[in-house]
A and B are shown apart, each in its own frame.
Chain A
């Protein structure tokens, strides 16, 4: 079984991304996914992509990273959280098993 590896990106890689990481771990494990998160600053995305299945970012990130990106504040503010989880799951693709 493959773990779902998520890169969580915010401005400093400290406060916001920690909140978002814990929320993603909670919500995705409720749906049966095994999740591993890594956090980084928006400026360090490119050097943190190895093994990453999807990026969840609260700030703009560079385009054409070769990894799907979900940009949302939902995991921070709780507004539209269910829709955002659906978006993450729909972008993961078929190779990540529950």
Chain B
């Protein structure tokens, strides 16, 4: 899978304002749908799954959420990215009863996990690198975000 097929500039949104996890998931789902990545059932499926198995990742000062759902709701793999002007609460993946403020949401559409896993693995591994995460929330330039994500994927010489 080529990088250009994974990071679509049309699916990058910066410094957005939302009131809840459901709102940001709804917005990003609509964008994925408009661009042909997902089926209509995806949005509700993600929202339902998030209630049961939340995806907030506690990383430090800046936290990330990676909502997603079963492959049956997905047409082709992709990701919609949104940085938030003020953080929104998500529940933690490892401690579902706890809520944490989230600064970046990656809504993942995964149609075939093995094909997509290298990308996903590099993406999530980058969450542990504070400077990368900080760089993502400090810009409102979509091209800059795309470049940061591209650099993440280039690491380890692959």
What residues make up the interface of A, taking CB atoms closer than 8 Å to B? 10-12, 14-16, 18-19, 22-23, 42, 58-60, 71-73, 76-79
Q: Chain B interface residue count: which class?
A: 20 to 34
Q: How far is the CB of A22 from chain B (nearest CB, A)?
A: 6
**Total contacts A to B, CB within 8 angstroms?**
73
Nearest residue (CB) in A for B58 is A73
What residues make up the interface of B, taking CB atoms closer than 8 Å to A? 49, 52-53, 55, 57-59, 66, 68-71, 93-96, 108, 110, 113-114, 116-117, 120-121, 124-129
Contact for B121 among A12, A23, A79, CB less than 8 A: A23
Residues in B neighbouring A23, C-beta threshold 8 A:
121
Q: How far is the CB of A55 from chain B (nearest CB, A)?
A: 14
Contact for B66 among A15, A22, A72, A78, CB less than 8 A: A15
Residues in A neighbouring B55, C-beta threshold 8 A:
11
